[in-house]
Amino acid sequence: MASFLLICLSTFLLTIQIYGLPNGAPKKACEGSMLPHHHKIQPQPSTTSPITKFNATWNADNETMSVHIESKKPFQGIFVQGRKMNEDKPIGKFIDIPSKMHVVDCPTGDGITHDSPQEWTKLDLTWKKPESMKTNETIQFWATVVVDFKNFWALKSIE
C-alpha cells in the first residue's frame, strides 16, 4: 500500500513538474535548453520527433518571420523562441498571437506558449525582429514540443 501511494505521489509530482504544464511554459524556462525543469525525464531523440515541418521565412517588407510547425501527432503544449544563431536566449517578439496562446515575457525577448492543453497538429506564428538586430543576422527558432508528459522534443527550425 505504501509503495502504491509512493508511485501515485511521484507520478503526480512528475506530472506537475513537466510542462505538459496546463498553462504553458514558465519564465524560468526562458534561457538555455528551454526544457521543463526536472531531472527524471529527458527529451526524446530528435529522430523520433513527430514534427514533420518546422520552418521559417523572412518577410523583408515588414521585418517579420513567418514560422510554420506541423506534426503527425497532436501535441498538447509548445514553447517557441527566436534566437540568434548559437545564442541561449530569446530576442524579438511574437505578434498576431494565435488563439489559445500567450507570450512569455522573457528578459531579452518573447517566447510563446499554449494557454491550456491542446490537440494541435499545426501552428503558424509571426515573429518581429528587435530594432537592434541587423537584417543580415541569422535567426533560428527553438521549440519544445510536448505530446504528453513523457514524450517531448527539443527542436530547432530549418531554414
Cα separation of 27 and 34, whole Å? 10
- Give the chain's length: 159
Question: In terms of CB distance, is 15 or 66 closer to ligand NAG?
Answer: 66
C-alpha cell at 102: 500567450
Question: In terms of CB distance, is 46 or 138 closer to ligand NAG?
Answer: 138
Given the C-alpha cell 518571420, which residue does it identify? Answer: 65
- Sole window of 32-40, 49-57, 86-94, 100-108 interacting with ligand NAG (rule: CB under 6 A): 49-57
Question: In terms of CB distance, is 29 or 129 closer to ligand NAG?
Answer: 129
User: Cβ 96 to ligand NAG, closest distance in Å?
Assistant: 6
Cα separation of 32 and 127, whole Å? 20
C-alpha cell at 33: 535548453
Q: How far, rounded to the nearest angstrom, does the alpha carbon of residue 47 sit from its chain's CA centroid? A: 18
Site string for ligand NAG, 128-147 (x = CB under 6 A): ------x-x-----------
Question: In terms of CB distance, is 133 or 154 closer to ligand NAG?
Answer: 133
User: Cβ 62 to ligand NAG, closest distance in Å?
Assistant: 4
Question: In terms of CB distance, is 46 or 55 closer to ligand NAG?
Answer: 55
Beta bridge partners of 22: none
The one-letter amino acid at 28:
K
Q: How far, rounded to the nearest angstrom, does the alpha carbon of residue 153 sit from its chain's CA centroid? A: 9
Q: What are the φ/ψ torsions at residue 127 (nearest 5 degrees)?
A: -120, 135
Interface positions, 61-90, toward ligand NAG (CB under 6 A): 61-62, 64, 66-68
Residues in contact with ligand NAG by CB under 6 A are 53, 55-57, 59, 61-62, 64, 66-68, 95-96, 126, 134, 136
